[in-house]
Amino acid sequence: MAELTPILRVDPDDVPERVLVMGDPARAELAARRLEGRRMLGSFREYVTYGGTHRGVDVAVASHGVGAPGAVIVFEELSRAGVRRIIRTGTCGGLAVEVEDGDLVIVTGAIRADGVTDAMVPAPFPALASVDVVTAIRRAVASTRRRSHEGVVLTHSLFYPGEVLGGDLEFWHRAGAIAVEMECAALFVNGSLNSLTTGAVLVADGNPLHREAGGYDPHRQVVYDAVEAMIDIGLDALIDG
C-alpha cells in the first residue's frame, strides 16, 4: 500500500487512469452507483472518491467541491496518482440566449477568470479542452439526442456579483462565452501542465442574462433529468479512446 494522498486520502495504487469529476459529493455518489464493483477509495472534507468499472474499464469518480482553488487540489493529486484522463461533469449558467435550462454544454475551452490559474501560468496561457476528449463527449451526446451547445465557457470565481463592482457576464458573453461556471479553466490548465487529456460536459441550470422574474432555482426536474443524462455521457466519453 502506497502512502495516501494528503487531501483526497486515496492510495495512488488504487486510482485508475480515467476519472470523472464533479463538484457535488452527492452527485459523485449518484455517478458511482452506475459502476460495477463500486468501492470508496477515499473521503475527506468535500472530497470523495469512488472506484469501479464502466463497461469493463477501470474508472473512478471524484468530487472537487465548488470553485477552482479547491478543485485544482483534486486535479493535481489525481495527476500525481497517475491519472491520464479527467472529464468534468457539472452545472453551469447559460450566457447565450439559446442555452436553456436542461441543455448540455460541450466545453472546448475556458476564459480564465477563476482566480487560481494566474498563480499557475502567465496570463496569455490558454485553457483548452483536449480535442480527443471533446470528440468523445460529442459522440456520447449525439447518441442521446439531447439538445446541446458547444463552445467556450467563462470560468469565474464569483457566484453572486456584488454591488460595488457589479458583474461582467454581459461583457464575456459579447466576447463569445456561451456559459459560466467555476472550475473548467483550472482543469484544463492543470491538464496541460501535467500532460493529461481533459474535457467537460455541463448542464445549464439557469441563464443569468436572460432570467425570468423569480430568480435562480437549480432544483427542478428538467435539471435533474439532464444531470442524469450528463453523468452517463461523461462515463461513456471517459472510456472512449
Q: Which three cell numbers stand for residue 153?
A: 465557457
Query: Could you tell me if 103 and 203 are in contact, meaning their C-beta atoms sit under 8 angstroms apart?
Result: yes
Please give the sequence-ordered ranges of beta strands (E in DSSP) within 30-84, or none if there are none.
36-44, 47-54, 57-63
What is the end-to-end Cα distance of the chain in Å, rounded?
29
Rounded to the nearest 10°, the torsion over CA 34, 37, 38, 39 is: 180
For the beta carbon of residue 98, count every other beta carbon within 10 angstroms: 11
For the beta carbon of residue 38, count every other beta carbon within 10 angstroms: 15
Of the residues 14, 205, 232, 236, only one is catalytic, namely 205
CA atoms within 13 A on the CB side of 199: 29
103 among known catalytic residues: no
Please give the sequence-ordered ranges of beta strands (E in DSSP) within 145-207, or none if there are none.
148-156, 179-181, 197-204
- Catalytic machinery residues: 205
